[in-house]
Amino acid sequence: MSKAINPMLLCDFYKTVHSDMINPKMTKSMSYYTPRMSRVKRWDKVVNFGLQMFCKTWLIDYFNDNFFHLPEEEKAKLKGLPTSLPEALDALEADNAYLTEGGVFPKELIQNFIKSKRAECSELSKIPHPAEFEKYYNL
């Protein structure tokens, strides 16, 4: 099974709004691989199925195959993830062909998104960080 995904991106952050999409008249719900807690206030119990297989396949086997057991020359090619929005935008600008394959995202949409986010970065860079304010303006 080919699992060509950066292992650092194996997360389920998109699920944080699922509880807002549930019909209020529902009394039961079933979910897989999220044993942490119920995000629906009226449900105080969570049952989980299949976690061992997920852990073995995606956390153990995947990291062994795609990280720990890589040849040294492949390990040398690995890069870290961007640590700021400007770095993420640089990475997106340099490598976004996969987003346009099959007409999923038009090139113009990606370019406009990058331009919009760069403008936000520019505005935010003009505002002092609280630590800077404390260090330099609080004399």
Distance set, CA 95 to CA 14, 65, 75, 92, 99 (Å): 23, 24, 20, 5, 9
The yes-or-no verdict on residue 96 having pLDDT over 70 is yes
Distances (CA, A) of 22 to 25, 40, 47: 8, 9, 18
Per-residue pLDDT of 105-138, as tens digits, reads 999 999 999 999 999 999 999 988 888 888 888 7
Neighbours of 46 (CB within 10 A): 14
Q: Which one, of 77, 111, 106, 108, lies nearest residue 92 by Cα?
A: 111
Q: Could you tell me the residue ranges of all domains in the chain?
A: 1-78, 82-139
Give pLDDT tens digits for 45-83.
666 666 777 788 878 888 888 888 888 898 888 878 899
